[in-house]
Structure formats: structure tokens, C-alpha cells
Structure 1
Amino acid sequence: MVRLDEHEISFPDPLLYDGHEGVIAFGGDLSVERVWFAYTLGIFPWYNPDEEILWWCPDPRFVLFPDRLHVSKSMRKILNRNVFTFTENQDFRAVISNCQQIRRRDQSGTWLSDELMQSFIQLHEYGLAKSVEVWQDGALVGGFYGIQMGRVFCGESMFAKVSNASKAGFIHFVETHRNELDIIDCQSHTDHLESLGAEMISKKEFLTILYQNNERR
């Protein structure tokens, strides 16, 4: 792994450097400039708050192609019943706070540190990060947030306080923006997203799509 210089915003080329189990660098800082630059290279921070910052670009990469979204019959019934309503960018802070605080199975803590949260909040204020909110009877019951780069959306974290809330929000987002997105980066495998059609592709394929997108922006 490469140790980053706190005074220089740079990363090893993820196309040329494999790192260790997907970790290609450590250290540096969480400035908005560095975090944004990392995402344009296909790199994301993921670490325990009491440890050094780790920067990842795994191979393979877990992604969803919007035209391969799978919606089960049971989920389609829930969506057709209008159990939930959806908004975008209406309460980014509440979404990211819930993502940090929600208790997850087999996890004793959170990877989302206060410092990283502030970086994402700033990115949202600059129009580079977005949130999707899921409401039920006027209450925020689910949602997710991520980084938007042209036709690539890099999902970061989601939460649900009631059954199917985050899944419904994700489906709504993909179906609403299907023609505006080439790929959704889900980063690492989850059964939850696999059931919706997410799949593994090579790092090279993902970075090729991302870099072509960057050239168009």
C-alpha cells in the first residue's frame, strides 16, 4: 500500500496498482478536494473511525447497470400501493446521520466518522453529493446518499427504519433516472443489492466506464 502525503492530493493509478485486497493507499486527509478527486479515480474511503484512513479500489467491483434492475413481484406490489413517497436532496443531513446511527446486523459500530460525514455534507452543498429520502406518513423512514458524477452514481450508504424502505427508494431512484445513468457503483457486495440486480464486474471495466464518463463531463 502507498502512504499518502497530507500536503499533496494524489493517489496511485488504480489501473496500474492493485494494492492489497482492494486497498491501494492509506493516510492523507478527508478534505473535500481529496475525497472528490478520489471518486473521479474510482477510489473511495472506507475505514474504522479509530484507524488510519484506508482508500479502496476493489477488483472485482460490485455495480448495477440501470437496465438490469430486477424488481420482484412483491416489491412491485408495495410500490404500486404507494406505501412510500420519495424525494431527492430534501434532507441530506438527516439521511447521512441516519446512515451513521442505524444499527446493522453483525456490526458493533459504524465506518462513517464525523469527519467523513462533514466532507460528504460539503460535497452536497457544492452539488456533488445527493440524497434520496423515503417517507411514510410524513416521517423519514429510509434513504441513501452518494456521489453524482455525470452518468455515474456512486452509492455510499443506505438506511431503513421500516421494512423495504431503502429497497423501495433505490428502485424508485433507478427507475426515475434510468435514462440518465450508465452505471451505479455499489462498491462491495451485499445480498440486498444483489437481489435487485447488482453484479460483479472487473475493476478495469468499471474504471473504463468511469473515465469515459469523466471525459464527457
Structure 2
Amino acid sequence: MTIRDTPEEWEIRATETPFVGNKTSVRTDEVVMPDGSVVRRDYQVHPGSVAVLALDDADRVLVLRQYRHPVRRKLWEIPAGLLDVPGENPLHAAQRELYEEAHVKAEDWRVLTDVYTTPGGCDEAVRIFLARGLSDAEGERFTAEHEELDLELARVPVDELVRGVLAGELHNNCIVVGVLSLVAARAGDGLDALRPALAPWPARPFEA
């Protein structure tokens, strides 16, 4: 038996969008269940995101600390951001986020993993990249606004992040998944065996 997620779409009898926000919306679908009953399912419609686990030559990960209002916490995270345009190349979006949030560029890019953050209530898909060969970016720094005005940057050893994840001290989805995926990749076939940066992404198709 192959353990693999597969595409499937059950019949939708009706759909409506009761809320449209600046970046996301809420959709209500009437979905036919296997027994023929019809139930309503509400979920957030999301454009998708990218995140970057940027690893330097000293085996430290570039992290940032940012206030997240919905959970009323400052969270340590890895650079991340929305896919601004439908069909946007996720690698280009990831490179943009690393530049804007940390003013850093990277020479080597791989796909670390792809995840759905909360598939029971949101269709957000995130591609997490591994970026290596880090150096300071050229050009002007991105002008921060809103929560990013209070942004803190740090470089933290991988082992310390793993400890924080397992101790329940780090909670952001992308940093947890990214760090543990990095450790798993190292214990498996190695980082150079990861998928190439432009590997297909069925959840958010793009033009290479």
C-alpha cells in the first residue's frame, strides 16, 4: 500500500461566499456525503503561501519574531508570505520574502516540504523551501509597516530550534514543520536529495 494523498472532489450542490476580505474569503459549500446526505461546510479560501528555512554555514536558521494578533502572541517564525498573484512562481515569491523580511539572498534552493496548514477549515497550501549559501542582499531595504515595524531577526542553531519545538515553546506551523523536515531529510537521503526548487506543486500550479 502506497501512503500518498490523492485528489478527490465530492459533489457540491450549492456554494456561496458570505465574506470577502482583503486577502482571503469565507466560502460555504453544500457537499454530498457518501450516504447521500448534504451538509454545509464553511472554510477560508486562501491564495497560498511560501516559507523559507534559510540555513547558514554555521548550521543556524534565520528566524524572526513577529506579533500575531489572532493568537495574541509574538511568535518565532521563518520568513514567509502570501502568493500575491494567482499562478505566481513560488520560488520567486520565496526569494522576495527572504529579501524583504531579512535582506538576505541565497544561492541554493530546494523544496523542503509542502503542507496544508489547516485542511479542515482552510484551503491554504504552503511550500516550504530550504535556502543555503546565504549572503547579504544588495539594494535598498524593504520599508516595513504594520506588525513588521516591531520585527526581530536572529540566527539560531538547528538543535536549539528542535529543542524548542519538542518542548512546546515554538508554535508557528512553518517553523515546526520546516525544522523537523530538515532533520528528517538529513537523517534520510540528505539535503541534496530534496526536490528541486521548481518541482511541480499541484496545490498551487505555476509556470516555471
TM-score higher than 0.5 here?
no
Q: Which has the higher helix share?
A: 1
Bucket of the pairwise TM-score, normalised by the shorter protein: under 0.3
Greater length-normalized contact order (CA 8 Å, ≥ 6 residues apart): 1
TM-score (norm 1): 0.25
Which structure has the larger Rg over C-alpha atoms? 2
- Identify the structure with the greater strand proportion: 2
